[in-house]
Amino acid sequence: DTEVTQTPKHLVMGMTNKKSLKCEQHMGHRAMYWYKQKAKKPPELMFVYSYEKLSINESVPSRFSPECPNSSLLNLHLHALQPEDSALYLCASSLRIGTDPYEQYFGPGTRLTVT
Amino acid sequence: GQQVMQIPQYQHVQEGEDFTTYCNSSTTLSNIQWYKQRPGGHPVFLIQLVKSGEVKKQKRLTFQFGEAKKNSSLHITATQTTDVGTYFCAGLIQGAQKLVFGQGTRLTINP
């Protein structure tokens, strides 16, 4: 199984809502990532988890709160978002992080619209 | 900040023509990876290059990594409509633990 799954596929939320994005992989990968992608732009790294611990936070606003409950699951909790946060949110996983080259497997993404 | 520059931003070709996209980094890369993202899809890993001067082929796709490990290219021979999408290079800066993505080259093809 080389698949990363993400739910929901689409999400529309108001600026006062609280919602969560979910990501799951069963490849035994110990590194998991959240990326944000705007139209016609490359994926922009938000967070990296390594062995269920937050390893990298790319100075993301606190209205985005990641969580890694176990080695297969990754959540992104959303609260008080702004319209400019509307984007495709991609989850990815890789065997590990580090200076060795590990390819990343991306999920299909959640298309988020903030109204 | 650390950047990986990718050109061209867009490329439109006739089916059957060749296509090349280039990536350049201001700093030495540990490795470079290439991803393809179809319209409406997500990035899919194509290949990674690790060694200086490395060349790898996948059918009609040829990937090169420069001798100084600062640049890379992807060449597609005789494009087909299935090649449509955005091609991203992503470099691992030496000593860092995260990929830096290029801006991508969006390939469109006239059948």
Partners of residue A48 in chain B, C-beta under 8 Å: 97-98
Per-residue pLDDT of B51-108, as tens digits, reads 999 999 999 999 999 999 999 999 999 999 999 999 999 998 777 778 899 999 999 9
Per-residue pLDDT of A21-31, as tens digits, reads 999 999 999 99
Scan for tokens 């990501």, then name that residue: A23
Rounded distance between C-alpha atoms, residue B72 and residue B32, angstroms: 8
* Of the partner residues A90, A97, A103, the one whose CB lies closest to the CB of residue B45: A103
What is the model's pLDDT at position A96?
82
Rounded distance between C-alpha atoms, residue B8 and residue A100, angstroms: 28
Per-residue pLDDT of B29-42, as tens digits, reads 999 999 999 999 99
Can you tell me the mean pLDDT for A47-63? 94
pLDDT at A100 over 90: no
* Of the partner residues B42, B88, B94, the one whose CB lies closest to the CB of residue A109: B42
Interface of A with B in 6-65 (CB under 8 A): 40-45, 48, 55-56
Q: What angle do CA A45, B33, B20 make, to 5 degrees?
A: 115
A83 SS3 class = helix
Cross-chain Cβ contact A106/B44 below 8 Å? yes
Q: B84 phi and psi, to 5 degrees?
A: -55, 135
Residue B52, number of CB atoms within 10 A of its CB: 12
CA-nearest of B15, B21, B40 to B101 is B21
Per-residue pLDDT of A1-41, as tens digits, reads 669 999 999 999 999 999 999 999 999 999 999 999 999 99
Cross-chain Cβ contact B42/A104 below 8 Å? no
What is the model's pLDDT at position B101?
96
Query: What is the 3-state composition of chain A as percent helix, strand, coil, each rounded to the nearest 5?
Result: 5, 55, 40
Please name the residue of chain A whose CA is at the shortest distance from the CA of residue B5: A42
What is the model's pLDDT at position A8?
98
Cross-chain Cβ contact A41/B103 below 8 Å? yes
Cross-chain Cβ contact A106/B48 below 8 Å? no
Q: What is the DSSP letter of B7?
A: E
What is the model's pLDDT at position A70?
94
Rounded distance between C-alpha atoms, residue A19 and residue A28, angstroms: 27
Enumerate residues 6+ apart whose C-beta is below 8 A from B97.
A48, A55, A56, A97, A98, A99
* Of the partner residues A48, A90, A101, the one whose CB lies closest to the CB of residue B98: A48
pLDDT tier at A99, thresholds 50, 70, 90: low
pLDDT tier at B3, thresholds 50, 70, 90: confident
β-strand partners of A13: A114
Q: How far is A74 from chain B (nearest CA, A)?
A: 18
What is the model's pLDDT at position B47?
96
Scan for tokens 């597609």, then name that residue: B76
Rounded distance between C-alpha atoms, residue B86 and residue A43, angstroms: 12
